[in-house]
Structure 1
Amino acid sequence: MSIQKFSTHHSTGSIELNTMRTFVAIAEAGNFVLGGKKMGLTRSAAGKSLARLEAHLGTRLLHRTTRRVSLTSDGQYFYERCTQILSDIEDAEKSVRQDDMEPKGTLRLTVTAAFGRIVILPLLNKFLKQWPHLEVEISFTDRIVDLVEEGFDLAIRMGDMPNQSLMIARPIAKYSPYIYASPTYLAENEITEDITALEEQQRLIYGLNPNSSAWYLHQENGKDVTIAGTQRLRFDSGEAVKDATVEGMGVAFLPSFLAVDDLQKNRLVKLFPEYSGKEIPIHAIYPNRKHLAAKVRKFIDMLTINLQNH
């Protein structure tokens, strides 16, 4: 059934929300007295409100008997639509009001180890100073965490996210990987202007899988390059790759956030800066809940604001 069938008889103007709420209250209570009482109306006022609504729609919404009322077929349809509309409005109000709420309680957070230590911790300190009544428990791990099972409010993860209907993955930043080496390594090893010559250098590889050793780079003018070749050293930690690079043990392909501090302190040099790898997205992941807690919402907003211009 379509609500359009009501349009042939109704008068101009829209239905007020209180009129809609009164109708729902009467329908759910099963009589005018209790329905009106829920809305702070007398039986007479509730009856008049319903009569005006039925006249506006041009159809009968309720069957009346001496003891109770029941929904007509049109009334049933209209009731279902009204409850959905009122529920949506309530959700919107709660979402906006929550923005003004001060985060309290404990925020349980899990973050990728390197990104968490280098990027999240400084921002977390700023967040705690802003919201003094909030406590935080943080786990630094690169393993996949079941947020619901382990009781975490939020995860910060790197890379593309799998489709998970029970989770929301909100992108908050992107970082590109580049080629880096230390001044010590460059002093001892000649690197030509041909990027493909990197295959002859000592490459430091992230990941223990032998099939994950190639580096895929894209030049600003659209040229794609694949660097393979020497791979004597492998690590299962991005920070370990970076530390080994600083020590002059080889050339590395690192996300920019991992190298930025050593780059600024001249412990690393960016090679072939016109070449970069595929952007690495950073996501805030949280359970698919109807209302997001203020502590989670505020923290995600803070990360987004601070990281969008990194």
Structure 2
Amino acid sequence: MRRENDKFHLMKVFHEVANNGSFTQAAKSLGMTTSSVSKAVHQLENSLQAKLLNRTTRNQSLTDSGRQYLNTAKLMLGQLQSLEENIKNQTTEASGLLRITMPSALGQFFIAPKLHTFKKAYPKVQLDLVLNEHLVDITEQGFDIAIRSVELPATSPLYSVQLGQHQQKLVASPEYLKQYGLLNSPEQLSSHQLLVYQGPQIKPDWSLYYQQQLFTIQPDACFSSNNYYALLMAAKNGLGIANLYQYMVDSEIKAGNLVHILPNWQQSSRKRYAVYQQRRETSAKLDRFIAFTASLFD
């Protein structure tokens, strides 16, 4: 049985024969033998059960069916060529809609403020950024990529790459520290006003380490929220000590609005991963966005 996709080959051969007015010229154009071209046209006519060409030893002409088929063949072959070019361009030129999802704070404080540089570099990419606090099924909800803090299980059909990592810092306003005093050790945290984030995938305890020492506290919150911006504002306004990611507070520390507390005591880094459905090399927009996001961690 002849494969159905052979029809496009037969159509292309007929199109060349009709345009060139010669089996020989069509064969040269297609890199085929004249007998193969003649055989292809016969196969097409047999499959259609219609004569497309009137042939003599000296010339050839289109039948009514041949003219009708040629007009439609031109349109279909043109559309096929355009489709193939568009698909090829997707792997070489960054363009089209890119749907992205990530945690709200990461997007609000770290990624979104820098997206204008990506857009300027790749103006043909349309960005759709969705911020949320839950793990999203990117296949079910139609996202191209998700930025997560949770590593994929080995059995996942998705692709993943680590982008970088972030650390948290204990911070408070100068006004708060003037009123309540500086901290010299993490044990003193229990006697201070603590501003605590409560959300999914976040451990309730604060763990700090210095050299071989480890200190862990279950913070007793005087103010808690599932929104990091609210905690940042509370810290800046002198309500207490907050444990916030570096990208939220570094500029505030530099400006003198917040003070880094216990700077010698570190916290474990929170890794960030890009999770996506298709291989990077098959989508220029996806590959460029992953590279751009990873560069933000450098």
Counting only pairs closer than 5 Å after superposition, residues 1-310 of structure 1 correspond to structure 2 as 101-163=92-154, 165-207=156-198, 212-219=203-210, 221-228=211-218, 230-289=220-279, 291-308=281-298
- The number of equivalent residue pairs is 214
Indicate if the aligned counterparts of 1:201 and 1:230 stay in contact, CA closer than 8 A: no
- Asked if the contact 1:178/1:275 (under 8 Å) is kept, the reply is no
For the 8 Å contact 2:94–2:125, the answer to whether it is kept is yes
Per the normalisation by structure 1, the TM-score is: 0.63
Q: Is the 8 A contact 1:185 1:249 kept in 2?
A: yes
Shift in alpha-carbon separation, 1:143–1:208, aligned structure 2, 3 A? closer
Contact 2:90 2:282 in 1 (8 A): no
User: Which amino acid in 2 is paired with 1:203?
Assistant: L
Moved over 4 A (4+): 97-100, 159-164, 288-291
- What is the TM-score of this pair, normalised by structure 2? 0.65
Cα pair distance change 1:99/1:148, threshold 3 Å: closer
Aligned-partner SS, 1:275: coil
Deviations, residues 88-126 of structure 1 (Å, cap 9, x unaligned):
xxxxxxxxx989822011111112111112221233110
SS at match of 1:249: coil
Q: CA deviation at 1:208?
A: 6.0
CA contact (8 A) 1:203 1:250 kept: yes
Identity of aligned residues (%): 26
Is the contact made by 1:123 and 1:303 (CA closer than 8 Å) also made in structure 2? Answer: no
Residues 229 and 280 (structure 1), Cα distance of their counterparts in 2 relative to 1, 3 Å cut? closer
**1:212 to 1:131, Cα distance in 2 relative to 1, 3 A:** closer
| Unmatched tracts of structure 1, length 5 or more | 1-39, 43-96
Aligned residues of 1:182 and 1:268 also touching (Cα < 8 A): yes
Contact 1:200 1:230 in 2 (8 A): no
> Which moved further from structure 2: 255-264 or 97-106?
97-106
Which string of whole-angstrom CA distances, capped at 9 and with x for unpartnered residues, describes residues 122-155 of structure 1? 3311011011222111112122211111111111
SS in 1 for 2:221: coil
Q: Matched residue of 1:116: which SS?
A: helix
